Amino acid sequence: MSSDAIAPETLGMPVAPTRMSRARGPASWIARRLGYAVVILFAISLLVFIATQALPADPAQAILGRAEPARIEALRAELGLNEPLTSQYLNWIGGVVTGDLGTSLTTRDSVSSLIGGRLVQTLFLLGITSLVAVPLSYALGALAAFKRDSLGDRVGLGSSVILASLPEFVTGLLLVMFFATTVLHVLPAVTLDTSLSGWKSLILPVTVLTCVIVPYLYRLVRASTIEVLESDYVHVARLKGLSNRRIIFGHALPNAMVPAIQGTALMLAYLLGGVIVVEFLFTYPGLGTLLLDAIRNRDLPVIQGLTLIFAGGFLLFNLLADIITVLITPRLRTGI
């Protein structure tokens, strides 16, 4: 375990399996990887179902608490709890496949319409964060690699280790106290206006999420750039007398990006967890706050739908990370 190359798993991040068959090409590998994703999605749906509907002795009772038996019976009927478990699962999963996630118990809206609006908001937050954090990490990582072992590099490494160890809500609360409530009063502490015109209230949530990504991604870019800079082909390019600029932009950076691109996709998957807490902290109206509200209200159909969406998104980003890596790495693409 070298201190330069930090494996994603050492940071508590999941890494998708990348086992390639030696002889077959990338198409069959991607097909198998997709099949694997479908299996996991099935496992997740089963798990969500078991957790929500099969495990609690009586979900209707759990939702309503102490209520009249008639109301509990009505809710049991509405949720289809009187049917055998297998048909309950098949009904639910059949609805999921056709885009029908059921009806919210609290607002009486369809779950898919509830999730739809919030999904856009969360993707907006994640999108802006990526636009800020990814270029920033790449620039910082490349810069740190070129200035390797300088004072700035060491300070950067040290502070990134510390920043990465803080839970996102601690970073968030400290930033809120500094910029919004206690020391300075320049930024809003909650997000009420999520459009671009309310950009000021987006600054803090985006900053917190950026603080989650940058320490990890920047070290990844730094490590892979250093590796490339020490490679034979960069030495050859130097010996050929190529200018520094051509070496950096023509040879070093494109190759150093390969692990970073995979890291970026994994990071987005990881952010799906972080975004829940950050949305809660800033009362940002996204999927995370919707999930926490649904949990508080014991709104079973919304919880089920959201858990599935989060798991699906997580899986998708992990899958993207794998597929992109295979497509941009010739050695893996040709299977040699």
The tally of CA atoms less than 13 A away on the side-chain side of residue 113 is 6
307 three-class SS: helix
Q: Residue 67 gets which letter from DSSP? A: -
Q: What is the C-alpha separation between 324 and 322, in angstroms, rounded?
A: 6
DSSP letters for 19-65: ---SSS-HHHHHHHHHHHHHHHHHHHHHHHHIIIIISSS-HHHHHH-
10 Å Cβ neighbour count for 133? 26
Q: Which stretch binds other proteins (CB under 8 A): 38-46, 78-86, 109-117, 138-146?
A: 38-46
Closest contact distance (angstroms) between CB of 21 and other proteins is 14
Q: Which residue has the tokens 């070129």?
A: 146
Q: Which stretch binds other proteins (CB under 8 A): 85-93, 222-230, 260-268, 303-311?
A: 303-311
181 belongs to the binding site for other proteins (CB under 8 A): yes
119 belongs to the binding site for other proteins (CB under 8 A): no
Two tokens, residue 145: 């690699």
79 three-class SS: helix
Query: Considering only residues 60, 104, 314, 321, which one is a binding residue for other proteins as defined by CB under 8 A?
Result: 314
9 belongs to the binding site for other proteins (CB under 8 A): yes
Q: Which stretch binds other proteins (CB under 8 A): 128-136, 146-154, 200-208, 289-297?
A: 289-297
Q: Which stretch binds other proteins (CB under 8 A): 87-95, 96-104, 118-126, 294-302?
A: 294-302
Q: Which is nearer to other proteins, 168 or 218 (CB)?
A: 168
Asked if 168 contacts 208 with a C-beta cutoff of 8 angstroms, the reply is yes
Q: Which is nearer to other proteins, 258 or 316 (CB)?
A: 316
Closest contact distance (angstroms) between CB of 155 and other proteins is 13
Asked if 209 contacts 286 with a C-beta cutoff of 8 angstroms, the reply is no
186 belongs to the binding site for other proteins (CB under 8 A): no
Asked if 301 contacts 294 with a C-beta cutoff of 8 angstroms, the reply is no
17 belongs to the binding site for other proteins (CB under 8 A): yes
Q: What is the C-alpha separation between 134 and 268, in angstroms, rounded?
A: 10
What residues from 268 to 287 belong to the interface with other proteins (CB under 8 A)?
269, 272-273, 276-277, 280-281
Interface ranges with other proteins (CB under 8 A): 1-3, 9-12, 14-17, 40, 43-44, 47-48, 51-52, 55-56, 62, 161-162, 164-170, 173-174, 176-177, 181-182, 189, 269, 272-273, 276-277, 280-281, 291-292, 295-296, 298, 303, 306-307, 310-311, 314-315, 318
